[in-house]
Amino acid sequence: MSRVHEALRKAAQQSSETSSPLEERVSLESPFAAMVADRPADSMEDIIAGVTLVPFAPASEALLVNPHQPHEAPGEEFRTLRTRLNHLQTVQPLRALVVTSASPAEGKSFTAANLALTQAQLVGKRIVLADFDFRRPTIDKLFRIPPSPGITDYLRGQVPLGQAIRRVEGTNLYIMTAGQSVPNPLELLNLKECRSLMLSLRDAFDWAIIDSPPLLFAADGNLLSTMCDGTVLVVRIGSTTIDAVTRALQSLCENNVLGIVVNGARRGELYSKYTYYHDYYSPRTQTQEDSA
């Protein structure tokens, strides 16, 4: 046996003799454990302060609330949702929120993005929107920003945390894209580093809004819900069935469902009364007074 192998054998023998049997040991069976074992414990405040700025230039079909035009009618429903969640936050510990659905194409990413934007409109609030849907990421497409570096790149030890976070210019919204595609999303989510990341986001931000895969198509959403304080289920009118909603709720390991968001209501029915109310009670401009 070479001297190197002999030294390794003696070191392992000494470690086993001095360690307590109750001591938690880091397993190197995961292919990613060795990559992240020696990461420096940087301050989250320092990390957040040095993140890259990106412009708010969403895709035209994204239908995102414009943070520079906060009184547009389409954002009113999300402001209502924001108000209810912020009220819940005053009566229970609630900072990390999973937004998911029973099936694909029900509007979970659309809801998560607009909820994050409306939360970020509040003065003094710092919000992070994190795309944990590694199977079919969407957030990067909605905001038209590069998909990588992102969460998977960080969890695999390829980039420091600061490079996986971006800030939308002129807002208090921070975004974590999903990152590079991986063949084993559930394995990444099961890493202790993923849970540690979730705790860090929860402590550093007023709201950590998590976009999750659909509950009935992968176990990812179920696992993510156990790491967060609450879950919001998005359903789509004319698409989601009662059976799908029932099975989705039953699939959750913890009873932390905060409510259901209904997506796909007809625009005319939803906003006609709001537009009338907003126009009636808004201050009249000089042009309106002259034409009256």
Q: What is the pLDDT of residues 31-54, one digit of tens each?
A: 444 444 444 456 888 899 899 999
Q: Tell whether the model's pLDDT for residue 4 goes beyond 50.
A: no
Confidence label for 137 from pLDDT (cuts 50, 70 and 90)? very high
Q: Is the pLDDT of residue 92 over 80?
A: yes
Q: How many domains does the chain fold into?
A: 1
pTM of full prediction above 0.85: no
Of the pLDDT bands very low, low, confident and very high (cuts 50, 70, 90), residue 179 is very high
Residue 198 belongs to a domain: yes
Strand segments (E) across the chain: 52-54, 96-101, 127-131, 166-168, 173-176, 207-211, 230-236, 257-263
What amino acid is encoded at 178 in this protein? A
In a domain, 7, yes or no: no
Which CATH number fits the domain that encloses residue 215?
A: 3.40.50.300
The stretch 187-202 carries a mean pLDDT of 94
The string of pLDDT tens digits covering residues 221-254 is: 999 999 999 999 999 988 888 999 999 888 887 6
Which residues, 6 or more positions from 146, have their beta carbon under 8 angstroms from its beta carbon? 140, 177
Residue 214 lies in a domain: yes
- The whole-chain average pLDDT of the chain stands at 80
Helices (H), 101-183: 108-120, 139-143, 151-155
Per the model's pLDDT, the better-predicted residue between 128 and 6 turns out to be: 128
Q: Is residue 108 part of a domain?
A: yes
| Residue 177 counted as domain residue | yes
Residue 190 lies in a domain: yes
The answer to the question of residue 2 being in a domain is: no
| Model pLDDT, residue 67 | 78
Residue 22 in domain: no
| Residue labelled with tokens 């009220």 | 87
Print the domain residue range for 266.
Answer: 48-61+70-271
